[in-house]
Structures are given as structure tokens and as C-alpha cells.
Structure 1
Amino acid sequence: MNTHGHRHRSAHLGDKVLFNDENLLRLRKAIYDLCWLLNRGYARHSAIKLVGDHYQLPKRQRLAISRAACSDESRKMRAAKCLSIEAIKDRQLVIDGLNLIITIETIMAGGVVLRCRDSCIRDIASIHGTYRQVHETGNAIELLGQTLEFFEPENILWIFDRPVSNSGRLAVMVREIAEAQGWNWQTALMDNPDQFISRSDQIAITSDSAILDEVGQWINLGDHIVANFFPEAWIIDFSNTNYPA
């Protein structure tokens, strides 16, 4: 039973202003500059601070440009390793659980999400070390399950961050839904899920940039979900902006 049904991962107060047409023009310029720096080997953290300070961006806009931007090298490498969703048939999948579920919760609740330079769909939620179940959580897990199981993977391993409070409860919820539906899923709590997923030989489902740079194969499931189920979602598209080489 969802005891937090009054909560939604919807738009933040002020998002309509932060991401209005005038501010999106500034954010595109900021992403342009950030990509320029990343292409020249600047450290990501330093580059984000430099660009954020230059454009005087508040925290939420800085988070948006940091998730939207990547170097040309990363973009090409990620694209080369991205498989079509049909490729999961009879394959083993490993899922970055919090990363995926929070994004789908946000889309379902009408919150803002980004189509980033590498075509990944990313939210700009920040859980601050504690995951809180929302009204959309169960429906998000069921939609993900129905979508994935349609393409008949052999099995799915969901990985959750042990250091994040309440991630264990979410893992239990995922496992219970899978058992009720007869899906061949397992869940695991790990202290360093990024490292495990990055080194796995299974097909990864995540939008985490650091993981995508390391994995052998991945699926852009968020983009598939948006295209097939939420065409009216609040998507800010940074994927087709021309960025400097």
C-alpha cells in the first residue's frame, strides 16, 4: 500500500520561469560553453562551476546543464554502445533502479525532464540521500515491467543504492510486483551500484553518465517510454542543439 499517495515527483515551484523561453536561450548558450570546455578536457565539476557562475545560474539550472551536456567523445562512444530495445530478447539485463524509477515517476507526474545531448532522458530531481515513495511509484514499476517483458528478456537484476535511505523498501516493492506478475526479476542492494553495473557484462539500463561511459552495452529505455507512452511529457530537448567541436 502506498502510504505517501499525497506526494508527487512533479514540477518544482518556479520551474515554469526557470525553463521559460528566455531562460532556455541562456541555458542553451551555457550548455554550448560547457560542451566546449568538456571537449577540451576541462574537469566536469570545474567546468560546471565556471559556466554556472558566468551565467549566474541558480542550482536547479546548473543541475540541468550538467545533466544535458557531454563531450563529443562521450556522445559518440555512448551512441556506439546503445542497442535497440528489441535486442534484449533472451538477454540478461541489469537496471540502475533509483535512476530509472525516479525518471519515470517524474514523467508520470508532469515534472520537467531533459532530452540530453546523448539522447538520454534525465530528470533533475535530487533525492539528497533519501528516497521517498510517491503516488506514481507502483504504476511506474508496472509500466517498466510491462514494457520490458514485452521484449522477452531472460531475466532482470535491479540494483539499488544501499546508502540511500528507503532504497531497501523500494527493492521489496519491485520484487513483490515482479512476483505478482510472474516476472523473472531479482533485486540487490549494493554500496557501490555504479561500479557493479559498469563492470557487468549484462545489458545496462541507466542514464547515469559515468556508467554509460564504462558499460559495454546499454538501452535508452527512457526515450522509448516517452515516445510510446508520454508524447505530451514536459521534455526540454537539448539533443539537437549545435555544439562546438
Structure 2
Amino acid sequence: MNNRNRGKNTGDDTLFGTGKQIDKLKSAVQDMQYLLSRDYAEKASSELVGNRYRLKTRQIQSVRGASASNAQIQNRKSKQLEVSELENTTIYLDGFNVLILLESLLSEAYIFQGLDGCFRDLSEVHGTYKRVNQTFSAIELIAKFYQNSKVQKIVWIFDKPVSNSGRIKQTILDFATENNFNWEVDLEFNPDKFLVENAEIVVSSDAWILDHCKNWFNLIQYVMDEEKLAVNLIKMF
């Protein structure tokens, strides 16, 4: 294994590590909620808010991820399932979304809880996925959830065009075979559309998926609570 992780970027402690900055971000999210609820476009809203509070690029990114309109929040909350409702079901994971978020969380990067209750990070995959020191630990956390929740089957969906998606698919399949888990891993050209059209229950923090899916489960919240993980968490509300 290499020495890579998905921890903080240089300067993140300055952007997110003080009460003054966090208060500013919370105010920005409130303003974004107001604008989005009145049908302002997300890009225009984030530009207005970013200018008003003089936010840096990564701060704007965190605010956009945490924000939603009143209608979006209500819609997402109405489709959220409890762990007690998952027994004997099939769960579809938005593979890179879930895996990278867990890797970031375990790497002590800043994690942001949005108005919809979901958690998001600031990591991005620019066409290539690279394993990090925390990858296997992240997969093990999914395994604990799988066993404790008595889910019948987990289907991981990864972006086929992303380089190394085939490698992480094989890594997960090998792990599932070794442990006799009922896991499936598929590569899709348009995973977001696939998940919305084919999954009864989705695990993702992607806003578009949450808006259009049938049902979803907040796996990151579950893992944090069950494992009592120490997290650099910022609640953006």
C-alpha cells in the first residue's frame, strides 16, 4: 500500500478550523437556502453568497454541497429510511461517492453535514481513482454495516469511465468472496441515472440522486454513530 490519504489540503485549517469561519459558512448556507427556495439557480446563488461573505473556492464548494431548497430538503427527508427498514433488502451504493467520503473521513479531512442531513467532503476524482491508506478500512466499515443491518445484498455501482474502476471492482469482489458476502459490483457509464432508475434503496450524498431516487439511507451517519468515529465534522446549520 502507498502513503497516500485523503486528508486536509494545505490551508484547510485556516478556511474551516475557526469558529469565525464556521459561523460565516453557516450564514452563507442560510442565504443559499433562501435563494434556492425562491428558484434562484445554484451557480448564481453560490456566486452571490460567495461574494457577500468573501468566501474562498473550497469554502464555496462546501457551502454548495451543504445547501438545498426547502422543497429539496422536504423531499429528501420523506424518502430517508431507518436501519430497521433495511433487513432483507438490496442496497445500491454510489460507489466512488461512498468510498471516497469514508476514506476522507478516516483521513481526518473536514466533513460537512448539510441541511438534508447528508455528509460531504471536498475530494474530487478527476478521471482517475487512486487507492489510499484508508481504502481497505472504508470497505471494512461497509462490511460491518452489511452484517449488522442484515441487508440481503449490496450492489456497488462505479463509474466505468473512471480510470482504475476495474481495479477497485476486483478488490471489492475478492473481499466479498473471501468473506462469503452477497455483494455485486457493476461498472456503469452513467451511474447516477442507473441508480435512480434501478435502485429501490440508494446510498449516496449526490444531490441529484437524492432528489430523484426512490428511497435512500444515510450510511455515513450510521457508521459514525455505530463506530463512534472521531471526525473533523462541521455542521453547516
Whether the 8 Å contact between 1:142 and 1:177 is mirrored in structure 2 is no
Separation (CA, whole Å) in 1 of partners of 2:48 and 2:127: 26
- Please list, as runs of the form range in 1=range in 2, the aligned pairs for 1:93-112 lying within 5 A after superposition: 93-112=91-110
TM (normalized to structure 1)?
0.92
Q: How far apart are residue 164 of structure 1 and its match?
A: 1.6
Separation (CA, whole Å) in 1 of partners of 2:137 and 2:121: 18
Asked if residue 215 in structure 1 is aligned to residue 189 in structure 2, the reply is: no
Q: How far apart are residue 199 of structure 1 and its match?
A: 1.4
Separation (CA, whole Å) in 1 of partners of 2:59 and 2:38: 23
Tell me the residue number matched to 1:7: 4
- Please list, as runs of the form range in 1=range in 2, the aligned pairs for 1:151-166 lying within 5 A after superposition: 151-166=149-164
Tell me the residue number matched to 2:227: 229
Whether the 8 Å contact between 2:102 and 2:220 is mirrored in structure 1 is yes
The letter for the 1-side match of 2:45 is: A
Structure 1 runs, 4 residues or longer, greater than 2 Å off: 53-56
Separation (CA, whole Å) in 1 of partners of 2:97 and 2:199: 19
Unaligned runs of 5+ in 2: none
Tell me the residue number matched to 2:32: 34
Tell me the residue number matched to 2:147: 149
Tell me the residue number matched to 1:184: 182
- Aligned-residue Cα RMSD (Å) equals 1.2
Whether the 8 Å contact between 2:106 and 2:134 is mirrored in structure 1 is yes
The letter for the 1-side match of 2:157 is: I
Aligned with residue 167 of structure 2, among 166, 169, 183? 169
Asked if residue 49 in structure 1 is aligned to residue 34 in structure 2, the reply is: no
Tell me the residue number matched to 1:75: 73
Tell me the residue number matched to 2:84: 86
Q: How far apart are residue 232 of structure 1 and its match?
A: 2.4
Tell me the residue number matched to 1:193: 191
Whether the 8 Å contact between 1:10 and 1:106 is mirrored in structure 2 is yes
Separation (CA, whole Å) in 2 of partners of 1:190 and 1:81: 24
Separation (CA, whole Å) in 2 of partners of 1:46 and 1:171: 38
Tell me the residue number matched to 1:204: 202
Separation (CA, whole Å) in 2 of partners of 1:202 and 1:172: 25
Separation (CA, whole Å) in 2 of partners of 1:173 and 1:220: 24
Q: Secondary structure at the match of 2:158?
A: strand
Q: How far apart are residue 73 of structure 1 and its match?
A: 0.7
Aligned with residue 13 of structure 2, among 11, 16, 19? 16
Q: How far apart are residue 25 of structure 1 and its match?
A: 1.6
Separation (CA, whole Å) in 1 of partners of 2:150 and 2:49: 44
Q: How far apart are residue 231 of structure 1 and its match?
A: 4.0
TM (normalized to structure 2)?
0.95
Separation (CA, whole Å) in 2 of partners of 1:172 and 1:53: 45
Q: Secondary structure at the match of 2:163?
A: coil
* Residue-pair matches, total: 236
Separation (CA, whole Å) in 2 of partners of 1:174 and 1:152: 19
Q: Secondary structure at the match of 2:91?
A: strand
Q: Secondary structure at the match of 2:212?
A: coil
Whether the 8 Å contact between 2:201 and 2:215 is mirrored in structure 1 is yes
